[in-house]
Amino acid sequence: MSSTNSGTPDGGPSPVGPLDPSALPLAIRAECERLLLPLPTGVEGGLAAYATRLWDWNERLNLTRHTDVERFVSRDVADAVAVAGHLAAGERVLDVGTGGGVPGVLLAILRPDLRVELSDSVAKKAKAVRAIVAEAGLSIPVHEGAAQELVSRRGEKDRFDALVIRAVAPLIKLLNWFEPLADHYGRMLIIKGPRWEEEKGEARHRGWVKRVTVRRVAAWPIRGSDNESVLLEVRRRETREPAPAPVSSHPPTSSPSPPSSAPPSPRKR
């Protein structure tokens, strides 16, 4: 397992090299502090346990390119921290196309109040992340199969409040998959890179943005580049019913009767 050490005296990232697993929690905490990422107290142990299992499984199955502390924190933890700030307490969250578990597993560690579930349509990835979660001592449901089917089966009592999506598909595909199911979940929170405006423009050109609102709600730098990641919130547009006619508070007044067209009655003599 390769990873960075905790840092250099000038505040830059430390050289890559072997790291004692027992030192990994402190290294993760130090890297978060260097990058000014707010980390809840006591979560570094869970992050380290997850990273260790993820990196071990990555040697058997390609799950991540972020196989050292610096990239794990600056890309994976940073993304999860950004998403966590836009989730209310106790929300039910589905990580769509979770791959190796990012950002869903990290959200469950950072925010234990959330009800996080993971899904992946690739059977071997779902199997791997299920093992990673168990080996890291976490209890997170993992679903194998298309997320659309999982979402469509949920009723009002167990519907997802948010679908969290990172590095799965272009925006127009995500809208095509999930917009028809909008009654089965609350909103989508989608992590995108520098092409997000181009993707939004394509979706608008195809008419999808008429049905939903797409808002950029957060942005943060991609370390080692001049680009930034953004968080898009996608919600179904509210349909406004026509306003009812105003009701008067005064009783209706009777209109004068029209003049009679009948001939006058003859007078008695």
Q: Report the candidate in 52, 54, 53, 78 with the shortest Cα–Cα distance to residue 64.
A: 54
Q: Which pLDDT does position 174 carry in this prediction?
A: 95
The three-state secondary structure class of 114 is: coil
pLDDT by position in tens, the chain (length 269): 444 444 444 445 443 345 677 899 999 999 999 999 999 999 999 999 999 999 999 999 999 999 999 999 999 999 999 999 999 999 999 999 999 999 999 999 999 999 999 999 999 999 999 999 999 999 999 999 999 999 999 988 899 999 999 999 999 999 999 999 988 999 999 999 999 999 999 998 988 888 789 999 999 999 888 999 999 999 988 765 444 555 555 555 554 555 555 555 555 44
Angstrom distance (rounded) from CA 92 to CA 190? 16
The whole model's pTM is what?
Answer: 0.81
- Residue 92, SS3 per DSSP: strand
Number of CB atoms found within 10 A of residue 115's CB: 16
Q: What is the pLDDT of residue 127?
A: 97
* Interatomic CA distance for residues 36 and 17, integer angstroms: 23
CA dist., res. 4 & res. 14, Å (int): 6
- Which of 33, 32, 69, 34 shows the shortest CA–CA distance to 50? 69
